[in-house]
A = this chain, B = another copy of it.
Amino acid sequence: MKILNEPKELQRLAETIRLQEKRIGFVPTMGALHDGHLSLVKIAKQRADVVMVSVFVNPLQFGKNEDFERYPRPFERDVELARLAGADILFAPSAAALYGEGFQTFVEVREISKGFEGDVRPTHFRGVATVVLKLLNLAKPHVAVFGEKDAQQLALVRRMVADLNLDVEIVGAPIVREPDGLAMSSRNVYLSAEERREATILYRALQEAKRALESGERNPDALKRLVVATISSVPIATLDYAEIVCAEDFSPTPALQSGKTYFLILAARFGKTRLLDNLRFSL
């Protein structure tokens, strides 16, 4: 596995690979890799000849009082995990290399950036859209793989790719979970032992909703109430939101329609740690 730090070097290599008519698969990450990320690398490998993984903790997508500084950066371990998962190229630029002097260009995906994570983190999605566009321009992939755990981010990336006519296929990959159901996240390491134990309530709440759906429940409010009630059984969990949204445009839905795909999304805090989870379903 080749490790590159210079944006221009990655771009030149990507161009060379494309001219060889090889397909490039790309997995952008903020590092602190876990099995969720590694599943994305595997999907990229199935769909491409050369797999690039980027490791970059993007300052632009963190708010002022967020965890940019303490975000985990186990770089040597990430290198090893990416290599074992079969990545061919690991791109790890510095912030200075990616955001040069005079940087002033931002991408805004408007409606999808509003609500949910966009409400709690007002400049987050502008930072995500901007860095993803930059990385796509450098890695020049034919296909890029994103995790479905960050469902709003995935919808935003799909929308940006369509709106800006980017020539890349976006693939969403299912959430990977710990044995007890907790969705894998680089932020899980922040949890205390108690918080870690109780955090499985998010998965359990989603499973309750899934069972209700399977039993024929079609009322979004009833499904949400079920999730809220389940999570409220854990006193140390503070629910930020639970909502059912259309998968495509992330708009809340007043009524479920058959043939459409939805996410039941939720965010909850355990102490200072915010966790996301969701259930994807179609009727």
A→B interface (CB under 8 Å): 7, 11, 15, 18-19, 21, 98, 100, 102-112, 129-130, 133-134, 137-138, 140, 159-160, 162-167, 249
Contacts and interface: CB of A to CB of B under 8 A. Distances in A.
A211 B163 CA distance: 48
A133 to B, nearest CB: 6
Contacts of A129: 105
Nearest to A102: B249
A107 B104 contact: no
B110 A105 contact: yes
Contact of A106 (B98, B102, B108): B108
Total copies of the chain:
2
A163 B109 contact: no
A167 B15 contact: yes
23 contacts: A11-B165, A18-B19, A19-B19, A98-B165, A100-B162, A100-B163, A102-B159, A102-B249, A103-B163, A104-B110, A105-B107, A105-B108, A105-B109, A105-B129, A105-B160, A106-B107, A106-B108, A106-B110, A108-B108, A130-B164, A137-B164, A137-B165, A137-B167
Nearest to A156: B105
Contacts of A164: 105, 107, 130, 133-134, 137
A168 B140 CA distance: 13
Contacts of A109: 104-105
Contact of A105 (B11, B159, B167): B159
Nearest to A249: B102
Given A19-B19, A19-B21, A21-B19, A104 B163 contact: yes
A111 B105 CA distance: 9
A160 B165 CA distance: 16
Contacts of A167: 11, 15, 137, 140
A116 to B, nearest CB: 16
A18 to B, nearest CB: 7
Contacts of A137: 164-167
A2 B33 CA distance: 48
A159 B101 CA distance: 11
A134 B165 contact: yes
Most buried by B among A15, A21, A107, A110: A107
Contacts of A108: 105-108
A25 to B, nearest CB: 17
Contacts of A130: 164
